[in-house]
Amino acid sequence: MNIHRKPEWLRKKINPAAHGAMDELLGELRLHTVCQEARCPNITECFRERQATFLILGAECTRLCSFCNVTKGEPLPPDPDEPARVAQAVVRLSLAHVVITSPTRDDLPDGGAGHYAATVAAIGRVAPATAVELLVPDFLGNRSALADVVAAAPRIIGHNVETVPRLYAIRAGADYGRSLAVLRTLRELAPECATKSGLMLGLGETEEEVLAVMADLRRVDCTYLSLGQYLAPSRFHHPVREFVLPETFDRLKDLAERMGFRHVESGPYVRSSYHAAGYGGGARTDQPVASGYLSDQEGVSAQ
């Protein structure tokens, strides 16, 4: 059954009139944000606080995920001046923590990894105290591309598994096993760098499936986790199957923390970069997170 009417706890108001200063800055610097492109329900809250998640490598994605509002189409070549403009925005907004993401760019030999690295470097030159968090695509599992991103030395590198294996048809071109492998490889390449992943709930998954994915994430030593409610951007996107109760999010948070995730954000309005600075302050970790809860389970499920 498709559900359309939002419950009372999912009626956050978006006020475009409050976005003026941020819209002006982004327009001046010719920058995209996932806040705008993905029609994030938290945009007014974040823009008022002079926070934004920057979308580099253009606003067109080469994959056809049915849950996402980012434009699908043929992207433009990377803009070599974009990293410097992102760095300028970080300075002008006085950001202590910044999240950088991108559409998936399967058209590029390195998936855009070099552009990510250039952006981290540009920020480091003008705002060395700013913690940089990257939310990267899977780069088709290209280890060399992942190594390039790791070499840039961001504080946190995230890659979202998004949903449970049974529902991966909504992630056209993605693969659950490959996403887990990306997170595993990141930890192998940079044990001191925190990793992060996230799931959308309400797509038709069961709680048992969510717990199984959380267990898989801990097996690849994922440090941080976000859990949020899926909201369909339009009637043409994958429909919402369930509005998950706030108390369910609270219970899942408790279970995730018992599994060993170092920090968990779990709630109806949680998104990958929502309250991002709260994930350990972007701190590095040179110790694997304890995972005793999983000691009697074996293997990693994959699609």
pTM, 2 dp: 0.88
Residue type, 82: E
For each of the chain's 303 residues, which pLDDT tens digit applies? Answer: 555 678 888 877 878 877 889 999 999 999 999 888 777 888 888 888 899 999 999 888 777 665 665 666 778 899 999 999 999 999 999 999 999 999 889 999 999 999 999 999 999 999 999 999 999 999 999 999 999 999 999 999 999 999 999 999 888 888 999 999 999 999 999 999 999 999 999 999 999 999 999 999 999 999 999 999 998 766 777 788 999 999 999 999 999 999 999 999 999 999 888 888 888 654 434 433 333 333 222 222 322
Nearest CA to 223 out of 186, 197, 188 is that of: 197
Separation between Cα atoms, residue 240 and residue 181, nearest integer Å: 28
Which domains are assigned to the chain? 8-294 (3.20.20.70)
